[in-house]
Amino acid sequence: MPFPRASGILLHPTSFPSPFGIGDLGSEAYRFIDFLVESAQQLWQILPLGPTWDCHSPYASYSAMAGNPLLISPEILQNKGLLDRESFSKLLEFNSETVDFEQVIRAKTPMLRRACENFQAKATTVQQQKFETFCQNQSSWLNDFALFMALKEAYGGASWNTWEHMIAKRQQEAILQWQQRLSTDIFYHKYLQFEFFCQWSELKHYANQRGIQIIGDIPIYVAYDSADVWANPENFCLDRQTGLPALMAGTPPDFFSTTGQLWGNPVYNWEQLQQSGFKWWVQRFQSILNYVDVIRIDHFRGFEAYWAVKQGETTAENGEWIQAPGKALFEFLKAELGFLPILAEDLGEITPDVEALRDYFEFPGMKILQFAFGSGIQAEKRFLPFNYHSNCVVYTGTHDNDTTVGWFNQLSPQEREEVLRYLGCTSSEGIHWDLIRLAHSSVANQAIIPLQDILGLDTSARMNFPGTSKDNWGWRYKSADLTQEVCKHLRTMTETYDRAPIPSELKGR
């Protein structure tokens, strides 16, 4: 079922302002929700919320179902009486424009440890019961995740396949021994997930009560070094001897890469997953729907057919396409969960079969305006609005693109002229608003704009440079950036193109 006409903003929570070096779920998150409401938006899109690897990419997580403890707000912990003023006395001066993840980890970890200790010592009977209920409700993944994280710390961060054989293979005797040995750390990681869930649930409730729906993100694959693979090896194509991926995920060679992309994630053992009634996938969708209202599926084409590369290959050249049971999976999810609030990331080389799978379930696809302009194969006219149908989502750009200002400035003079001619502009001043107007005025049911574009920022505010591992994911805005002028301009555009929420007194007429 298509979604109603609306618009929103793409912004990951790490980008919020805060005095703790990274955006969190405290007061600035609520202020951002207020900005969405005041500017007549109805959608807030985020990136995956999981606890990240050393690269700090939201798409490289230790769990497909857990939350990132770095997003926990120390302010809220203080309001709960779990941190005192002394906990903030030696707080460092952080860069307000970007996240220094290592510095943040050093500063926040002791605070989170202290909050956990205080929770154990001071929690009321009601709070203890709430914690126990959470642990019971999330036991399908939480117990394995908490043990996995405690083990990683005990092994100095080493990948699970290098642990002692008995625990790497999850032999019951070893699990019981480690559970006893690491009981304090296991409790700590369960508490962090409980606190994250409480803070996020309150923020989501605040958003939903004000008419804001949250769009989350499911990467199709999970990281090899994750609780998901360690706890459920039968769900993945792993080598029985080494435990390493027998088949690795990626994409074949194309115009942009002569050797393709070798991601290294293990591909799924779809036969086993199907035999189990897609149990793991049902748990994954149920888990993320606790956090969000709508799900964007990253690399949707992999549910129709996926590129698989054998272990030992160093590039993605020698892979093969293998069919995936995407239709059976989504049929099963629909039977289990009802209506599937899914957006399909259908970018890249998309075949008619992928389009057929998307359209069979009426999942909206994605349109990126930046992809519509340029020269050669990089310019795809299917991304121009006159080629849209209404059941799609239009973006100026995504987290993987440059900002609109940065993108426009890097075009050749001829390409810039082409963009201005299409937009009917005589000047590039305010180019970000011109592209936003093009998105909002299109027939696409949903228009989502990165906050960087609404603020008119250049390449220095880019969130991610695909194919690189440094200096990504760190951009933050300042509280003063959300001005009344910006809010009014966005609201006017939203109302002009009929994307504003319907006033409550007019609903049902």
For residue 293, tell me if it sits in a domain: yes
For residue 284, tell me if it sits in a domain: yes
Average pLDDT over residues 139-156: 98
Contact 114, 83 (CB under 8 A): yes
Average pLDDT over residues 433-459: 98
User: What are the tens digits of pLDDT across the range 55-88?
Assistant: 999 999 999 999 999 999 999 999 999 999 888 8
Binned at pLDDT 50, 70 and 90, residue 124 comes out as very high
The rounded distance, in Å, linking the Cα atoms of 254 and 15 is: 33
For residue 35, tell me if it sits in a domain: no
Q: How far is CA 120 from the centre of its chain?
A: 31
**pLDDT beyond 90 at 92:** no
**pLDDT beyond 60 at 273:** yes
Residue type, 48: P
The rounded distance, in Å, linking the Cα atoms of 375 and 330 is: 37
Sheet holding 247-251, edge to edge: 261-266, 247-251, 305-310, 319-323
The rounded distance, in Å, linking the Cα atoms of 440 and 394 is: 8
What is the pLDDT at residue 306? Answer: 96
Binned at pLDDT 50, 70 and 90, residue 508 comes out as low
The residue range of the domain holding 287 is: 232-363
Average pLDDT over residues 430-447: 98
For residue 54, tell me if it sits in a domain: no
For the chain, give the mean pLDDT: 94
SS3 content of the chain, % helix, strand, coil (to 5): 45, 15, 40
Binned at pLDDT 50, 70 and 90, residue 380 comes out as confident
| Count of other CB atoms within 10 angstroms of residue 347 | 19
Number of domains in the chain: 1
Return the ∠ at Cα 405 (arms to 402 and 410), rounded to 5°: 70
| DSSP-assigned letters across all residues of 259-328 | T-EEEEEEPB-HHHHHHTTSHHHHHHHHHHTTT-SEEEEETGGGGTEEEEEETT-SSSTTEEEEE--HHH
For residue 125, tell me if it sits in a domain: no
C-alpha count within 13 angstroms, C-beta hemisphere, residue 52: 19
| Count of other CB atoms within 10 angstroms of residue 31 | 13
Burial string for 45-72 (b: 16+ CB within 10 Å, else e) reads bbbbbbbbeeebbbbbbbbbbbbbbbbb
Average pLDDT over residues 442-471: 94
Tokens read off for 307 = 């590129």
Binned at pLDDT 50, 70 and 90, residue 257 comes out as confident
What is the pLDDT at residue 318? Answer: 94
Tell me which residue has tokens 């929103």. 8
Residue 446: φ, ψ to 5°: -125, 135
Average pLDDT over residues 479-484: 97
Cβ neighbours of residue 44 closer than 8 Å, sequence gap 6 or more: 8, 9, 11, 32, 33, 36, 207, 212, 213, 214, 215
Average pLDDT over residues 439-463: 98
Give the residue among 438, 403, 400 at the shortest CA–CA distance from 419: 438
Tell me which residue has tokens 């997953």. 273
What is the pLDDT at residue 13? Answer: 98
**202: exposed, middle or buried (C-beta count within 10 Å: 0-12, 13-18, 19+)?**
middle
> Per mean pLDDT, which range of 30-39, 241-250, 316-325, 498-507 is the poorest?
498-507
For residue 297, tell me if it sits in a domain: yes
Beta strand pairing status for 294-298 and 342-344? parallel
**pLDDT beyond 90 at 383:** yes
Beta strand pairing status for 261-266 and 247-251? antiparallel
Catalytically annotated residues: 298, 345, 400
The rounded distance, in Å, linking the Cα atoms of 190 and 201 is: 16
Cβ neighbours of residue 328 closer than 8 Å, sequence gap 6 or more: 274, 278
The rounded distance, in Å, linking the Cα atoms of 311 and 265 is: 11
The rounded distance, in Å, linking the Cα atoms of 475 and 453 is: 13
User: What are the tens digits of pLDDT across the range 276-330?
Assistant: 999 999 999 999 999 999 999 999 999 999 999 999 999 999 999 999 999 999 9
User: What are the tens digits of pLDDT across the range 333-377?
Assistant: 999 999 999 999 999 888 999 999 999 999 999 999 999 997 654
